[in-house]
Structures are given as C-alpha cells and as structure tokens.
C-alpha cells in the first residue's frame, strides 16, 4: 500500500534558524562560546522586536517600556540532533545557565564547546515549566558538523545590532560595531 507521506516525515518548524526547547528531551552539541548580554522586547511599528546589549554595557532602563522584562541571555551556535540542523540557541533560564557554568568549571567535564552533548528536558507549562540539564559522556562530533558551522560564518554579535547573524551580507569589522 502506498503512503501519502514518508513514515518518519515531520513538518519543519517555521523558523529553523533558532533552537527552542520543546517538551521532552532536547539534545544538542554546543559549537561556540556564547555571547552574553541582556535582552528585552519592544514594540516597533506594531511588531514586537528584541533589543539586546552586551554584558558590561549599561542597560538604558529609563528608555525601556517594561524594565521588568529585561533578561540575562546567552546565545551560541549548536547542533540540534532532533532537527539535524545547526542553529542558534538563546538561553535565558538561570537554572540552565548555572548548570552549564558549573559543568564548564568542573575539571571532569570542562568546556562543553564541541566536547560533549547536553540534554535539556522540558516539562510543564507556563509558570510550572521545569528544565533538567544532563551532560552526556564525551563522544566524537558527527562528521562534517564543525566544518559546516565554520562555513556558515554565523556572526552572533549581529544580535546586538538587531541584524541577522546568518547573513553574509551584513558582516562588518567588529571594531565598527556601535552600541
């Protein structure tokens, strides 16, 4: 009997450039050190848009419509095993940040960049959402992923400029970045 769609087919997500934690297990390999800063959302032309500044730059609290919405964030390149894609993962959850920081400082685990997988398990909804972080034993990165990441020339710092970090057209000299 013919099937309409392949047995393992899943509809692609609408924005596959960014990894978002889904319910259940989310396995990924960190491909770069994170950029670190603060973010909040502002209404611009009837659209919500993120505003971000790097760590160490004063936050313009007086200019922000909702200062309570300011979040500390990390953004890094990752390989998402579920989607089989290189994506950007933004982490604002303090518990996940603290666990990853502790793993990086632990002499048995060390830096997670390229060295081992991380599994974040998400449960619950809304204010009841919980995240559990579990490192996996070191394994070799899938062949070709590191080279593909380098070839993509993802420029995470573009997030601070409100630009697309995947765009090769918007690459500027880091000295030219104005905040």
Note whether residue 8 is domain-resident: no
* Domain count for the chain: 1
- Give pTM, 2 decimals: 0.84
Between 5 and 15, the higher pLDDT residue: 5
Q: Which domain holds residue 84?
A: 32-110+142-172
pLDDT of 179 over the 50 cut: no
Tell me the CA distances in angstroms from 6 to 10, 14, 117, one per residue in order: 9, 20, 29
* Per-residue tokens: 144: 């070709």
pLDDT of 36 over the 70 cut: yes
DSSP label of 141: P
Per-residue pLDDT averaged across 46-74, rounded? 91
Note whether residue 14 is domain-resident: no
Residues forming a β-bridge with 120: 26, 133
Note whether residue 36 is domain-resident: yes
Note whether residue 102 is domain-resident: yes
How does residue 144 score in pLDDT terms, banded at 50, 70 and 90? Answer: very high
Note whether residue 70 is domain-resident: yes
Note whether residue 129 is domain-resident: no
pLDDT, tens digit (0-9, with 9 covering 90-100), for 113-124 = 999 999 999 999
Q: Output the CA torsion sign for 25, 34, 128, 131.
A: positive
């Amino acid at each position: 009997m013919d099937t309409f769609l392949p047995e393992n087919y899943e509809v692609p997500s609408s924005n596959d450039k960014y990894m978002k934690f889904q319910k259940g297990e989310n396995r990924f390999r960190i491909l770069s050190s994170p950029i670190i800063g603060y973010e909040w959302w502002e209404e611009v032309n009837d659209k919500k848009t993120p505003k971000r500044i790097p760590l160490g730059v004063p936050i313009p609290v007086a200019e922000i419509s909702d200062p309570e919405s300011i979040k500390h964030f990390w953004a890094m390149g990752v390989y998402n095993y579920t989607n089989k894609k290189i994506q950007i993962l933004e982490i604002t959850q303090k518990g996940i940040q603290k666990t990853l920081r502790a793993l990086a400082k632990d002499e048995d685990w060390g830096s997670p960049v390229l060295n081992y997988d991380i599994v974040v398990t998400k449960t619950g909804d809304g204010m009841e959402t919980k995240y559990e972080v579990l490192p996996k034993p070191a394994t070799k990165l899938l062949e070709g992923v590191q080279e593909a990441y380098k070839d993509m020339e993802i420029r995470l710092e573009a997030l601070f400029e409100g630009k697309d970090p995947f765009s090769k057209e918007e690459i500027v000299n880091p000295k030219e970045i104005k905040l």
